Chains A and B, each alone.
Chain A
Amino acid sequence: MPFETVIGLEVHAQLSTRSKIFCACSTAFGAVPNGNTCPVCTGMPGVLPVLNRKAVECTIRTALATSCAVQRKSVFARKNYFYPDLPKAYQISQYELPIALGGHVDIEVDGETKRIGITRIHMEEDAGKLVHEGEFAGAQASLADLNRCSVPLMEIVSEPDMRTPEEGGAYLRRLHDILVYLGVCDGNMEEGSFRCDANVSVRPVGQKAFGTKAELKNMNSFRNVEKALEYEIRRQVELIEDGGKVVQETRLWDANAGVTVSMRRKEEAHDYRYFPDPDLLPLIVDDSWVEELRKTIPELPAEKIARLERRYGIPRYDAGILASTRALADFFEASAAICGGNPKTTANECIHWKDAVLAGTLSPETIAHAVEDRERGTISATASKKLVELVLSTGKPFRTLRDEQGLTQISDTSALDILVDKILGASPKEVEGYRAGKVGLLSFFVGQVMKESRGKANPKVVQEVLKKKLGP
């Protein structure tokens, strides 16, 4: 029986604000435990929350960038449950009236574009961290660090529109890139600033109703999300084919074992008793604020990819890699603007030197000059690579180093004429062999010229000269 998969993804993104969402503590990573806390975020008696405007701006901008409808009025609600990393024993979140509804993200899988719906986006505060004292199994106690309490989070819930793990991965990557482009989140999955939970179910092809879904957690990379989904789909299909039923539960992805494991916690009906938080008034967002923020939305990944493809004639795949980081795309365009050569070469170079570009140790000029010189035949590809490495290590300009190192390639045909004549003169037997039909000997001649010129001859031009001299 053929099955169809239904996947929905929930992303929690930590917003890049300096201070927390409801108090003025720092959100900076790496402080001593409980060093970034105050009476408000540690839920002391009598304290009250005050909303961080920047967190709202980040969320509105995200909503605009994903074509959501920004709600002019949204309400903060208390989600009540007890846990040592939740100081007030409630999380301030949004429930019935979130700040944004009904958007989408367009993804590409196997050359096909697909639209993945976004159900809602809302704001909430993060909880702290619980570490286990000593060995987990025998741990007698847990230790609570409340630094992360009240760090602003944005929860983005997708429609269950994805049908394969690849689509899931594509959606996550695209959403991730949008958030990083906007500057609202640093997108670091390993450090937990971009978290993903998945809801996945299967159903026989043709069935309208969704199957029972399982919620997957603990996937700390895009690849792990895809792997977890692959495993879980297989597990559910096998279970059903064996006559079993999928149980609605939360399962943790175990990356080492490559399986999902049921949390098997006594499903104490999570009754969160949501109600509007009386300490916060409704969040009112007026049209002028939304329009002001709309102007700050940069060209987003999808648009950028299309434009790079169109404007520079580079393949979509390359455009995709360049656009994966705004800084890289900007660098490419800056480089292409300086360079008189083929943008595709520039693109390749930027992609090749991506790490250095993103580290900020390479200038667009360097790449532009490298591409130009190679296209003019002034230097060889090998020399180009060596020179860029030297630029990185010495900081000197590309062309200065090129001349210093004497890596200028000989492309001048008259100079090469002399070299070629020399080699051909020294290898009469091979010349005869070539003219007799052993065309493979061409590379032998090229090799000899390269050796004679100590690698400086432009191999392409050498080939042309050789062919001319050797004749048809």
Chain B
Amino acid sequence: MANVPVHEWTLLEAARRVREKEISSRELTGALLARIEALDPKVHAYITVLPEAAAAQAAACDEEQAKGALRGPFHGVPIGLKDIFCTRGVRTTCGSRILHDFIPPYDACVTEKVLAAGAVLTGKHNMDEFAMGSSTETSFFGPTRNPWDLSRIPGGSSGGTAAAVAAAMCFAGVGTDTGGSIRQPASLCGVVGVKPTYGRVSRYGMIAFASSLDQGGPITRTVADAAALLGVIAGYDRRDSTCVDIPVPDYLAAVERPVKGLRVGLPKEYYEGGGLSPEVRAALEKALKALTDQGAAVVEVSLPHTSFALSAYYLIAPAEASSNLARYDGVRYGYRAEGASGLIEMMSRTRAGGFGDEVKRRVMIGTYALSAGYYEAFYGKAQKVRTLIRDDFTKAFEAADVLLTPTAPTPAFRLGEKTDDPLTMYLSDIYTIPCNLAGIPGISVPCGFSAEGLPIGAQLLSKSFGEETLFAAAGAIERVLPLRRVAPLEG
């Protein structure tokens, strides 16, 4: 670790150095804030940066440590949160005009846990509006750029978090994933992203997009960092009825587990088809070799209903979203259109003016899919197909311990390249969506670069609550392919 710049340390490394008093939180935080100030005008990973609050928190951390008190495993370390997690007293916008000035009077559970672990909050990361998107281009606050190539998108919807981590503008971040929104940006930004099992992480205070699919999860530069951060944010929360009461294992310990004998399944449907770029395919082969070289076995499996997943998702997610976003009506908080003469006009103009096009599109699809006469044909049908997809995975996990697939079909595309046709954009999620529908966990770990130097990630999937297996497999890949994780972006 000789002469590794402070901002490039891993989360665990930074935490250790603060704990062992090699560096103060003030200094560490100061370095990060300076980097944010220098780089974020280019990258735009943040919607809200909190320099004063972060400095104050850092100072408090140092004082406590001087008295011998450490709050938790990340004491004094700067971490950022996607602007979808409510933060008490700090503006939380969800990337939308309709919440542009909303200041929550409560913290999300994830926020509470990250702060309880001693982290210093650097700020709130940019995101696709209401988490609807795969490129962070739908944010009301403007797009985030991929730190590896500023003319390209970082992925989405947690593009701000992935970019911030990749540009070393925080040591780690927490994003959310509904159809791939942690894994895909992690892949495109060359970092690690984990979508935990549905119910593993509390959704309390995490602004809802599609309630039965959303999960919060870590975005970090190493697998071990992700394991440590997941260990902090996971766990039972009685405020979330869908949160599962299962003990949180030692994820960090799983990272070093040998993968000898691990059965790695390759779902054939994910490798067929023309959409998968040859460079991605080649990088995946390297990832597979990394596993087999360490003793893993390969099995071919089939997930026969894969090609229907996108359709099921683009009915279920918008349907739930159309209901979750109905509360944004200008009555109790957020943006309200002016000059309306009556209530219906006020609500309609508020929502028309407060929501961007992608959100409106999905609200419309969702409303339609639930409406009288169409429920059975659309929403009802999609929920049945969802069962078929879940059953596919259950069957596959009889033959395999973990599935290896690409995360995204191509490396990062250019800004504006796919914004004209919604369907084309939706196709970026074909590999990540099925996992949300099934509720199982998934991780994306960097496994290569394209000829143009753009990151490529490999996705690993396991059965529910099999995160330890994911960390073991991802750790094994990382050991063989220790790729550069911080984008070469200078201030």
Spell out A's residues near B (CB within 8 Å): 39, 42-51, 78, 80, 82, 84, 87-90, 142, 144, 146, 269, 271, 273-275, 278-281
Contact of B327 among A43, A48, A273 (CB under 8 A): A43
Chain A residue nearest to B205 in the complex (CB) = A46
Beyond contacts A48-B242, A80-B323, A88-B327: 6 other A-B pairs, Cβ-Cβ < 8 A, are A45-B207, A46-B207, A49-B241, A269-B372, A275-B323, A275-B379
Query: What CA separation (Å) do A339 and B105 show in the bound complex?
Result: 63
B208–A46 contact, CB under 8 A? yes
Query: What CA separation (Å) do A144 and B211 show in the bound complex?
Result: 27
What would be 28 A-B contacts, judged by CB atoms less than 8 Å apart?
Answer: A39-B105, A39-B106, A45-B94, A45-B102, A45-B207, A45-B208, A45-B327, A46-B85, A46-B203, A46-B208, A47-B204, A48-B204, A48-B240, A48-B241, A50-B238, A82-B329, A84-B329, A87-B331, A88-B327, A89-B327, A269-B372, A271-B371, A273-B322, A275-B319, A278-B210, A278-B320, A279-B241, A281-B242
Chain B residue nearest to A39 in the complex (CB) = B106
A45–B241 contact, CB under 8 A? no
User: Smallest Cβ distance from A88 to chain B, in angstroms?
Assistant: 5
Contacts of A42 in B (CB 8 A): 332
B242–A46 contact, CB under 8 A? no
Chain B residues within 8 Å of chain A by Cβ, number: 44
Q: Rank and list the top 7 A-B pairs by shortest CB-CB distance, nearest first.
A: A89-B326, A273-B370, A278-B211, A278-B212, A46-B205, A45-B207, A43-B327
Query: What CA separation (Å) do A48 and B201 show in the bound complex?
Result: 14
Contacts of A43 in B (CB 8 A): 327, 332
Supposing A80-B323, A82-B329 touch, asked if A46 and B212 sit within 8 A by C-beta, the answer is no
Query: What CA separation (Å) do A275 and B206 show in the bound complex?
Result: 21
Contacts of B102 in A (CB 8 A): 45
A90–B241 contact, CB under 8 A? no
A45–B104 contact, CB under 8 A? yes
Please tell me if B400 contacts chain A, counting CB pairs below 8 Å: no
Query: What CA separation (Å) do A273 and B204 show in the bound complex?
Result: 25
B326–A80 contact, CB under 8 A? yes
User: Smallest Cβ distance from A131 to chain B, in angstroms?
Assistant: 14
Contacts of A89 in B (CB 8 A): 323, 326-327, 329
Contacts of B57 in A (CB 8 A): none
Contacts of A78 in B (CB 8 A): 323
B332–A273 contact, CB under 8 A? no
Contacts of A275 in B (CB 8 A): 319, 323, 370, 375, 379
B331–A50 contact, CB under 8 A? no
Please tell me if B308 contacts chain A, counting CB pairs below 8 Å: no
Chain A residue nearest to B325 in the complex (CB) = A89
Per-residue interface assignment for chain B, residues 350 to 377, with 1 indicating a CB less than 8 Å from any chain A CB and 0 otherwise: 0000000000000000010011100100
Per-residue interface assignment for chain B, residues 237 to 281, with 1 indicating a CB less than 8 Å from any chain A CB and 0 otherwise: 011111000000000000000000000000000000000000000
User: Smallest Cβ distance from A83 to chain B, in angstroms?
Assistant: 8
Please tell me if B99 contacts chain A, counting CB pairs below 8 Å: yes
Please tell me if B223 contacts chain A, counting CB pairs below 8 Å: no
Query: What CA separation (Å) do A144 and B343 show in the bound complex?
Result: 12
Contacts of A271 in B (CB 8 A): 371-372
Please tell me if B77 contacts chain A, counting CB pairs below 8 Å: no
Contacts of A80 in B (CB 8 A): 323, 326, 370
Chain B residue nearest to A141 in the complex (CB) = B343
Query: What CA separation (Å) do A278 and B320 show in the bound complex?
Result: 8
A273–B86 contact, CB under 8 A? no
Query: What CA separation (Å) do A249 and B333 show in the bound complex?
Result: 35
Contact of A279 among B211, B329, B332 (CB under 8 A): B211
Query: What CA separation (Å) do A50 and B243 show in the bound complex?
Result: 11
A50–B326 contact, CB under 8 A? no
Chain B residue nearest to A142 in the complex (CB) = B343
B327–A281 contact, CB under 8 A? no
Query: What CA separation (Å) do A269 and B86 show in the bound complex?
Result: 36
Chain B residue nearest to A270 in the complex (CB) = B372
User: Smallest Cβ distance from B36 to chain A, in angstroms?
Assistant: 25
